[in-house]
Structure 1
């Protein structure tokens, strides 16, 4: 069991739900995921095409599944393997789901990223994944592209829980929250119980610093250098302020009275990419009640080992965060341009990972059928 004074326990007590940003058949078969639930306060799991591509390419944990699927169409095999892993993880986390009344204990699986610009295909795939996994604690990940926004609404309206991914800008985050509220309103009209419908809004963090820091280094002045490492945290803190505003309004209160849970902010991409920064930076600087922090294993290990967990580091910081973003833009860096580029790159990277996943799976299927 988790020590009551451990960093992960203190983080949980501060209102941050710890989710693991990783999943593999090996984690499931060895009991590692169940161990992390017991010892590191992990209460959820997120996946993406990159994670599954890595899992399939390492070790032999999938050899049996690939042998069983020999002769199967590669895309069908990928869906079978990934949904099977997610279903098993959802079963591991079912007790957490029940204990938290459906707030945590969630496992996310992403719609094929090649559909990110196709609303109808995204909705159809989301419904199929939801039915295939067939667990109440799954979430379907849909990217926050312009085409993804109506897909988010339609999927929620069907009573399906959604993890909105690849959010980088405050403007797009407002649109995501609007899509969530509309989706729940439609779900209620469609006769769905709102209580089981979960949603998180995955706001990406470290990639923002990587992009802005690179631009600041190109400028090269002392003033520019002094601003490195400030963009991502300021951007996320402004997102939290937007969340507080929207989820205290009359429109939300009507849904809350009908049993709905809020769409929580989820800090994604929290692994530190610059070795000059503390390895727990995007955890300790983003502590706030009612948020999720999904961590890769290295970040979770760092927090558990030496994380110094402060009190709330986010609430009430909107003014200073806005000043930090203004200082960056005064250097000639457009945050709107940065976040638009990051969204496009994010979709592209997941498409590349999906292709790698298909290639790795095909190689395994061919070898199993030889």
Structure 2
């Protein structure tokens, strides 16, 4: 039986995606069960998720032994191991992909995060991963760095669906939407069927509150402390307003007439870090049509257990969100610096996870050789 809270979220226009993937989750039937009971219609992955999955148990040992026999490099082994899981999940999600006219049923795989500042190599890696997995419902994740923006355009232009990750600021989000529009124009020029290309823009949520609340604690005034826990929701709501504006233009309508689907906002990093905040906050307060909320298991369980979905909680909040931003700046928060720090930290965290993943795979190759 499907969970009522998560069903309500889906009816409100929010696609529920799981922010986790592992061989064990696939083998045990857990992902299939969540599709049935928790309205899960998509999956996201990242280097941290795969590093954790490969470090636990023996689910990957048989494939690792085959890779040892073939004498592949560590980098190639990582591609083979992660690609296998992505392919499996994509096949499991294929009925959702078909029944939603290719909107959902999506599974995301990230390019090597060490390439985040290299446009040309990011494009090449994205094309290689798309070819390797060879499933129409896969999305390739590309970070929204300055160097990632032209890569997003080029990859879309090749007819490849893209999940843009590590978006923190409104300015960068607008640049991402511009890159998407340019990519769809390029795809049209290259003769691709625009209706088969999907994109989401992963706007990170909880990390914004974590960084800003730390600074508000340092400031320490009553006015500053009263603003804790408000920045991330305000930021995401203003992002949705920017989305509405970007996809209400004659340029977009011309692409839509050719079958193009809008790039949906995706709320990422929705696990609440501060125990003083409601653990469903970044779900219940970001309900809006044509969005995605990708949740770690703990957040998914929390929403299923006690989440209260009360319809759209984003429309009509834009002025209040702007006032919260003005108050943060008035309290001494340098938002430009905050978003720059978060992007740099985000890239580095994924690079560190990738290095850990490489080390773990290397150790497995050695131990099973």
TM tier relative to shorter chain: over 0.9
Other-structure match for 1:68? 66
SS of equivalent to 2:164: strand
TM-score (norm 2): 0.99
Stretches of structure 2 lacking an aligned partner (at least 5 in a row): none
Distance 2:94 2:245 in 1: 32
Q: 2 CA distance for matches of 1:328 and 1:59? A: 45
| Superposed displacement of residue 246, structure 1 | 0.4
Q: 1:47 aligns with which of 45, 64, 74?
A: 45
Deviation at 1:266, TM superposition (A): 0.1
Which TM-score applies when normalising by structure 1? 0.98
Distance between the aligned counterparts of 1:222 and 1:64, measured in 2?
58
Q: 1:29-61 CA distances to partner (integer Å, 9 max, x unpaired)?
A: 011111111110000000000000000001111
User: Which of 6, 9, 14 is equivalent to 1:11?
Assistant: 9
Q: Secondary structure at the match of 2:277?
A: coil
CA distance in 2 between partners of 1:338 and 1:313 (Å): 25
Q: In the TM superposition, what are the counterparts of 1:1-370 in structure 2 within 5 Å?
A: 1-3=1-3, 6-70=4-68, 71-369=71-369
| CA–CA separation in structure 2 for the residues paired with 1:61 and 1:87 | 16
Q: Say which SS state the counterpart of residue 201 (structure 1) adopts.
A: strand
- CA distances 1:51-104 after superposition (whole Å, capped 9, x unpaired): 000000011111111111113211000000001100000000000000001100
Rounded Cα–Cα distance in structure 2 between residues aligned with 1:247 and 1:268? 21
**Superposition deviation, residue 314 in structure 1:** 0.3
SS at structure 2 position matched to 1:195: helix
How far did 1:335 drift? 0.9
Distance, in Å, in 2 between the alignment partners of 1:48 and 1:252 is 30
Q: In the TM superposition, what is the alpha-carbon distance from 1:334 to its structure 2 partner?
A: 1.1
Per-residue CA deviations over 1:202-229 (Å, capped at 9, x if unaligned) read 0000000000000000001111110000
> Mind listing any 5+ residue stretches in structure 1 that lack a counterpart?
none
Deviation, 1:316, is 2.0
Deviation at 1:130, TM superposition (A): 0.3
Structure 1 CA distance for aligned equivalents of residues 63 and 10 of structure 2: 36
> 1:284-306: per-residue Cα shift (whole Å, max 9, x none)?
00000000000000000000111
Distance 1:364 1:223 in 2: 52
RMSD: 0.6
Provide the aligned length of Structure 1 versus Structure 2.
367
